[in-house]
Amino acid sequence: MSKKDFPIFDKHPSLVFLDSASTSQKPRSVIDAELQFYNNDYANVHRGIYQLSENATAVFEETRRKAADFIHAEYAHEIIFTKGTTESINLVAQCFGCLQIKSGDEIILSAMEHHANIIPWQQLCERVGSTLKIISLNKSGELDLDAYEKLLTEKTKLVAVIHVSNVLGTINPIKKIIARAHAKNIPVLVDGAQAVGHLAIDVQDLDCDFYVFSAHKMYGPTGVGVLYGKTAHLDVMSPYQTGGNMIRRVTFEKTEFNVLPYKFEAGTPNIAGVIGFGAAIDYINQIGFEKIQSHDNKLLSYATSELEKISGLKIFGTSKNKSGVISFTVDCAHAHDIATILDQLHIAVRAGHHCAMPLMDYLNVPALTRVSFGIYNELSDIDKLILGLDKVRKIFT
């Protein structure tokens, strides 16, 4: 678990990468897995009866089993490969939402949601005449569970909530949220994009109905995501897209759809990306979440204590149960100016609304600067960040 595992730091040895909440860098094992497939083993999956295709199919499906084990799904067929978290949520909104949500119904979201877990539900509400209800936050950036309890009514037909905030770093009490919804027979979707690379996930223990995430935020390739859904839900949902591979039989009069999970995987998938995703799962498993969380906590604690020493800097999101994300303002400079100056020092941070404009409105800020950690970060990266912010203050004061 070090920078040596990641080739980008060989090319850019001075790089301080503090934007892992946006996307994580890739270890050599993930890159090599994709190269190996393209160089030596490439063929389409599920369709060929020749050896190369059968080998590709076997490796592809092995990743599905790895993903199921990774989040402790009961069955491999509950793992649907998508392009990412965004497509996974859209799939559920289109294919489950149309069954579940009718005119006059309500969907509960939280004030800290990413746009990807707002807009699909907003669009669904506009189509069918339903309403969004929003869980409020306390001053620490935690969900108000008492307010949430009051929102749960006979009109509530779905709860869709983020596991870990990509802005505040708050780790939400997902199991409690799900239990309270299920007590009223309300299904729950969890956006796990920010959680899967940092926390051990057990979807059976959580008892969530849907869990969605992306490979690229957990050291895997872009263009690959997962929708986990309980079999009972997936069975009754119609396909999101139609075409090749998701069929059992086609005539001009009627089409019979394929079994799970293939019913939701139309067309040629991102085969190499899925294989790279399998290598990313292996990489994380080799390290273990105990080490990953210990490393996150060490970085978070040190960075928080050092940032709090800077005059005029305000941290947003101070939950005691928090992941490796810190968002802040500095009174003398806009977030974009801060990020630009840090970039000149080879420090990569994120600045802006972080695909969470409603949260920015809720916090009454135009933009935030965000630092977020990966397993390749070191305490020295934080020291360089602090020196960079000192330079920001000298320029603008």
Mean pLDDT, the chain, whole residue set: 97
User: Taking 90 as the threshold, does the pLDDT of residue 397 lie above it?
Assistant: no
Query: Do the Cβ atoms of 85 and 213 come closer than 8 Å?
Result: yes
Confidence at residue 245, expressed as pLDDT on a 0 to 100 scale: 87
pLDDT score for 2: 79
Asked whether the beta carbons of 248 and 14 are under 8 A apart, the reply is: no
What's the CA gap between 381 and 18, in Å, rounded? Answer: 8
* Phi and psi at residue 387, to the nearest 5°: -65, -40
Does residue 4 register a pLDDT over 90? yes
Q: Are strands 210-214 and 225-229 parallel, antiparallel or unpaired?
A: antiparallel
Asked whether residue 187 falls in the same domain as residue 75, the answer is yes
| pTM for this predicted structure | 0.97
Residues 103, 175 within the same domain: yes
Task: For residues 76 and 228, give the distance between their C-alpha atoms in angstroms, rounded to a whole number.
Answer: 9
How far apart, in whole angstroms, are the C-alpha atoms of residue 140 and residue 3?
33
| Dihedral of the alpha carbons of 192, 198, 204, 205, in degrees to the nearest 10 | -120
Q: Is 95 a catalytic residue?
A: no
- Whether the predicted pLDDT of 345 surpasses 90: yes
Q: Tell which of 244, 269, 285 closes a domain.
A: 285
Q: How many folded domains does the chain comprise?
A: 2
368: CATH: 3.90.1150.10
Distances (CA, A) of 354 to 22, 63, 165, 350, 359: 9, 30, 11, 8, 9
The CA distance from 72 to 63, in Å, is 14
Tens-digit pLDDT profile for residues 110-152:
999 999 999 999 999 999 999 999 999 999 999 999 999 999 9
C-alpha 237/C-alpha 224 separation (Å) is: 21
Based on the domain organization, do 275 and 163 belong to the same domain? yes
Q: What mean pLDDT is predicted for residues 342-355?
A: 97
Is the per-residue pLDDT at 1 higher than 80? no
Catalytic residue of the set 95, 208, 332, 355: 355
Q: Is 251 helix (H, G, I), strand (E, B) or coil?
A: coil
What domain range is 135 assigned to? 29-285
Residues 222 and 297 in one domain: no
